[in-house]
Structure 1
Amino acid sequence: MQTDTSAGEDCWIGIDLGTQSVRALAVTTTGRVLGSGRHPLDSVRDGARHEQDPRQWWSAVAAACSQATADLRGTIRGVAVDATSGTILLAGRNGHPFTPGLMYDDTRAAAETERVNDLGRDLWKRLGYQKMQSSWGLPKALWLLENTPLKTPARVLHQSDFINQMLTGGTVASDISNSLKTGCDLLTGTWPQDLMTSLGIQEESLPELTLSGTVLGHVSPSAADATGIPAGTEVIAGMTDGCAAQLGSGALTAGAWNSVIGTTLVLKGSTPDLLHDPSGVVYSHRSPDGGWLPGGASGTGAGYITRELPGRDLDALSDETPRHTPSDTVVYPLASSKGERFPFVAPDASAFRLGLPSNDAELYAALVQGIAFVERLAFDHLHSLGAPTDGPLVLTGGASRSRHWSQLRADILGRPVTLVDNSEPALGMAILAASAGGSVADTATAMVNVREVIDPQPGATRKYMEPYLRLVSELRARCWLGNTLAAHATDNAQKAAAG
């Protein structure tokens, strides 16, 4: 990414704690990047376990921020941090970590998940997501509290809480975005104390709660020395990495959506009302502007392409896509070995292919078409829940770098798609920091730079509806896709084919 170190403008620091690295950006109110930095992270994996050392998080944040601020001539006005959703640790009152960080995909807390869902079922239904998963924060917090020998009282911290404490040098509140998976009642912005007590979690073990975008404190002198961010700079309550990416895309007005295709497919949007999903595949964060940010994550995506076409020149194959679409080969491109979670829940689902392409170019075309079909099915599911889906659609992730693939998605979805210059989660956090006390959506409009809007080609959508409905029919025949969504998708496809 190009950076500009010549300007003396005000800027805001966004920090993104990913799985493999920490990324820091210094960004102006016009979206210009004045400085950037990155530092790697290491993980320990063993079956259901996935851990990282919280002290390494801080050293990586300090290194990335030092790079971003080293030649910076702008004036830093604020900093905000995003982190992986559901990552939990225990720490002492002084912030010293007692345990490793149990990462977002650590699933060892299976027994605790059953207790959480049994005792909290009414609240989870009221919040629209029906039940918790073993990778969520609350089951893992229970596991840690019950399996960690402690001589002094411990506090449950999210990954971002730990970094914010290191930045400020004191105890901080936890934002309700990162606290969603730890059981925060998003309707009231509070912990459900009766439920927590019944689970054996004491009130003093939980952080205070606050809205994303509020000021938590100020950068301490010691943190300033470590990061290069001036002492006294405001530290703003952040969000999860998925929400940060959505902020970076600018998809924040009611009915707007951000579709991310990388290894897997993630869809996040903005709605004025909380969605209730009987199937439990969609859950919603609170928007800093009010309203809701619903979304879901599929197991399908470009990871299936790299598995099926290892070592191939995918850019060259992408250039040939228009010659081979619509493809007669119908593919369900599940990147994981087993199990789907969005737009339907099917633990036994696995990838399949109907038809036999004659060469790699035809196979590639069928694969990207299949991913776009799942994307369309996801929108059909959201539409069936009553979500507004007719606003702008911003495409981000690795797939958005291919214009041919982006055109294919516009054609299959039957709607314009928007491409932006930069949608990193770190940009989203810079936007949130810059918007403190104002509108995040308005701030994002100024800071997110649109590269191109691609319209569907005339008459193209109806050409894809026959193979799309073959995929829907096959998913239904395998008992993975329910009758209600299958019927809704069929009705919408028939209207698109006729129109």
Structure 2
Amino acid sequence: MSVWIGIDLGTQSVRAMAVDGGGQVLGAASRALTSHRDGPCHEQDPEQWWRELAAATREALRDVPAGRIEGVAVDATSGTILLADGDGAALTPALMYDDRRAADLVERVNTVGAGVWQRLGYQRMQANWALPKLLWLLRDGVPGGARAAHQSDFVNRRLVGAEVATDLSNALKTGVDLIDERWPHDVLDALGVPAEILPDVVRPGTRLGAVCAAAAEVTGIPEGTPVIAGTTDGCAAQLGAGALRPGSWNSVLGTTLVLKGVTRELIHDPLGVVYSHRAPDGSWLPGGASSTGAGVLARDLPGRDLDALSRQASAQHGSGASLPTTYPLVSRGERFPFAAADAEGFTLGEPADDVERYVAILRGAAFIERLCFDYLDLLGARVDGEIILTGGATRSAYWNQLRADVLGRPVTLRENAEPALGMAVLAAGPSAAGAMVRTRAVVDPSGADLREPYLRFVGELERRGWLPSSAADHARERTVR
């Protein structure tokens, strides 16, 4: 009858969830968060994180017996960082995951740290990663007693009431050496980051401490509850989806597409579009984020009833093998399964109406998803395990079937794959996922043959100079195998 608390600290909201060992949600609540954006800058007030987290946990635990609560874990946005003082108070606003104010510092970061970044498989850092932003925060020197803190570190420090370690997952974009599981101090010293401002690092799932009396009073989490090191929001969603075994993958399709899986060995990607987190058991969690996804539907079919379009598409076109295909880029430039800053959306063929336009977008997203798996296979990752679909796109039965047909294999849908559930699973420990993660349905391929339009789409990406020929050739080989 034990209960674990998972907290998802996102960009727009914080969500708390109390879950028992069978996966039943006994209480859940969320609170909105606000941001300030100004050009490349995106900031949040860390104190708001704590206030709204406390309000969410109090509500979520309202009907949960205190004696049943066994642990709490928090996930947070990847690459968000700030400076805090020795008492855990914020010295700066939080520079959020997509803040790009430190773009002019990235070249120096990548020059000094080139050997480490290449060894870790991701080749280079990006402007929105945490290490360039930390250099920006330290541009005028190190304030006395300052500590670097990721988003989850800040709230874990409040929960415990003392300094806490950071987890390897949130520390990835700050430059932690995931192989040796320590900071590369020679690189960081050369960049001007003193060792004393950095927290210790531990694997996700490590006990950080226990909820202190002051935190218990404001959050409703019982004093003494173990606080477990969490992970990033993307890895939390993967845990919530139950993609935990080598060869299994979580494909999250919402505004954009994100794939995350499990491998025994670290994946090295010459393009730098795939990077790996470290799992609690020491295995690796490779993944990548595409710039394609369902966000194109609202842009290209404004005001349309998407559920109605889905029903019409199913009735009129089935898999739509002979229909046009759209490359559904949400914004200019592609990040995964290839890197092409000049990539733009296109459509092969001419849709006759909005139903065909809808099918073309859905099919293009499914083709990119298939191409991601082809590229991961080229890199040596196992892709033969369970594929779990999550995200807003799974509300469309037509799209779920189309994705199974394009992949040519069954896909799994979960009852609940929220990041907050993933954190409850992490807090409960490695043996808990089997019972806490529940399957809603498995969608088998219908037998529709979409190989020819898929290969035509791959060829067009190659012809435009975006997809490397090695990746295109491997996709062809796997498709005709």
What range describes the TM-score normalised by the shorter chain of this pair? Answer: over 0.9
Alpha-carbon distance in 2 for matches of 1:300, 1:167: 38
Paired residue for 2:432?
Answer: 443
- Deviation per residue, 1:333-357 (Å, 9 max, x gap): 0012x11100000001111112211
- Deviation per residue, 1:255-286 (Å, 9 max, x gap): 00000000000000001110000110000011
Q: CA deviation at 1:150?
A: 5.8
Deviates more, 1:468-477 or 1:40-49: 468-477
- Deviation per residue, 1:404-434 (Å, 9 max, x gap): 1111100000011000100000000000000
Q: CA deviation at 1:153?
A: 2.8
Q: How many residues align?
A: 477
Paired residue for 1:194?
Answer: 186
TM-score (norm 1): 0.94
Which among 362, 374, 378 is matched to residue 356 of structure 2?
362
Which among 402, 408, 411 is matched to residue 414 of structure 1?
408
- Deviation per residue, 1:432-476 (Å, 9 max, x gap): 0000xxx2xx32111000011111113x2xx21111112111111
Q: Does 1:220 align with 2:206?
A: no
Alpha-carbon distance in 2 for matches of 1:153, 1:196: 18
Alpha-carbon distance in 1 for matches of 2:160, 2:106: 33
Amino acid at match of 2:227: V
Q: Does 1:343 align with 2:332?
A: no
* Contact 1:327/1:365 (<8 A) preserved: no
Amino acid at match of 2:327: Y
Q: CA deviation at 1:401?
A: 1.6
Paired residue for 2:73?
Answer: 80
Paired residue for 1:4?
Answer: none
Amino acid at match of 2:326: V
Closer, same or farther in 2 for the Cα pair 1:393/1:145, shift >3 Å? same
Which among 464, 477, 480 is matched to residue 491 of structure 1?
477
Which among 448, 453, 466 is matched to residue 467 of structure 1?
453
Alpha-carbon distance in 1 for matches of 2:80, 2:308: 38
Q: What does residue range 372-391 of structure 1 map to in structure 2 within 5 Å?
A: 372-391=366-385
Deviating runs (4+, > 6 A) in structure 1? none
Q: What does residue range 50-449 of structure 1 map to in structure 2 within 5 Å?
A: 50-73=42-65, 75-147=68-140, 151-322=143-314, 323-324=316-317, 325-336=320-331, 338-435=332-429, 439=430, 442-449=431-438
Paired residue for 1:454?
Answer: 443
Amino acid at match of 1:465: R
Q: CA deviation at 1:402?
A: 1.5
Alpha-carbon distance in 2 for matches of 1:334, 1:494: 27
* Contact 2:273/2:335 (<8 A) preserved: yes
* Contact 1:19/1:84 (<8 A) preserved: yes
Secondary structure of the structure 2 residue equivalent to 1:146: coil
- Deviation per residue, 1:192-239 (Å, 9 max, x gap): 011111011111011111111011011111111111100110000000
Structure 2 spans left out of the alignment, 5+ residues = none
Alpha-carbon distance in 2 for matches of 1:151, 1:15: 31
Q: CA deviation at 1:494?
A: 2.3
Alpha-carbon distance in 2 for matches of 1:197, 1:358: 60
What is the percent sequence identity of the aligned residues?
Answer: 59
Q: CA deviation at 1:328?
A: 2.4
* Contact 2:323/2:356 (<8 A) preserved: no
Q: CA deviation at 1:10?
A: 1.4
Structure 1 spans left out of the alignment, 5+ residues = 1-8
* Contact 1:327/1:369 (<8 A) preserved: no
Alpha-carbon distance in 1 for matches of 2:348, 2:410: 29
Amino acid at match of 1:434: A
Alpha-carbon distance in 2 for matches of 1:445, 1:340: 35
Deviates more, 1:281-290 or 1:65-74: 65-74
Closer, same or farther in 2 for the Cα pair 1:327/1:62, shift >3 Å? farther
Alpha-carbon distance in 2 for matches of 1:165, 1:234: 13
Q: CA deviation at 1:360?
A: 1.0
Deviates more, 1:155-164 or 1:464-473: 464-473
Alpha-carbon distance in 2 for matches of 1:304, 1:395: 19
Closer, same or farther in 2 for the Cα pair 1:73/1:153, shift >3 Å? closer
Secondary structure of the structure 1 residue equivalent to 2:104: helix
* Contact 1:327/1:362 (<8 A) preserved: no
Closer, same or farther in 2 for the Cα pair 1:327/1:153, shift >3 Å? farther
- Deviation per residue, 1:30-85 (Å, 9 max, x gap): 10000001000000011110100000010111111011011223611100000000
Alpha-carbon distance in 2 for matches of 1:151, 1:165: 19
Alpha-carbon distance in 2 for matches of 1:304, 1:472: 20
